[in-house]
Amino acid sequence: MAFQTEFEFTLPKGYVDEYGSLHRSGIMRLATAADEILPMKDPRVQQNPAYLTVILLARVITKLGEVQSINPKVIEGLFSSDLAFLQDLYRRINGDGRTVLKTICPKCEYEFEVEVAGSGEV
C-alpha cells in the first residue's frame, strides 16, 4: 500500500467565488515542516496568531473546485462551517496520518473502522 499524501474532501457548504460559482470538492496534501514554520514570519500571523490557520490552509489545499489559485483570500472567503471542517481535516491527516476512526456499535458492541475524511456532506 502506497503512502497517502493527498486527501480528497467535500466542503459542507462550499466556497462561492466572485462570479457566484460554488466550489465544494477539493484536495488537501500533508503539511511539511516549512508549511508550519514559514507562516510564522508572515506579518499577518505576527499581528494576529489566529491568522496562521488561513495561511496554513492556503498552503496545503491544492485544489478547490475550479478555483485557479488557492490563496489566503480564498480561505478568508470560506463559510465558518467550512473553515472548521478544513481545520479538523488538517489536524486529522497531519496527526497520525490516518483518516479512519475505530468505533464500536453501542447495541451489538461490534468493532469496526469508519472513514472520516473526504466528505462534508451530512
Torsion of CA 94, 60, 10, 13, to 10 degrees: 110
Work out how many domains the chain is built from and give that number. 1
Only one residue has cell 453501542, namely 106
Does pTM surpass 0.85? no
Q: Which of 92, 95, 96 is nearest to 117 (CA)?
A: 92
Assigned domain for 50 exists = yes
pLDDT at 64 over 50: yes
In this prediction, residues 33-46 reach a mean pLDDT of: 94
Helix (H) or strand (E) holding 63: strand 61-64
Give the start-end residues of each E strand in 1-54. 6-16, 22-29
Between CA 50 and CA 106 the distance in angstroms is 38
Q: Does 121 score more than 60 pLDDT?
A: no
Residue 52 lies in a domain: yes
Residue 61 in domain:
yes
Residue 120, domain member (yes or no):
no
In degrees, rounded to 5, the angle at the alpha carbon of residue 115 between the alpha carbons of residues 110 and 36 is 135
**Residues above pLDDT 70, as percent of the chain:** 84
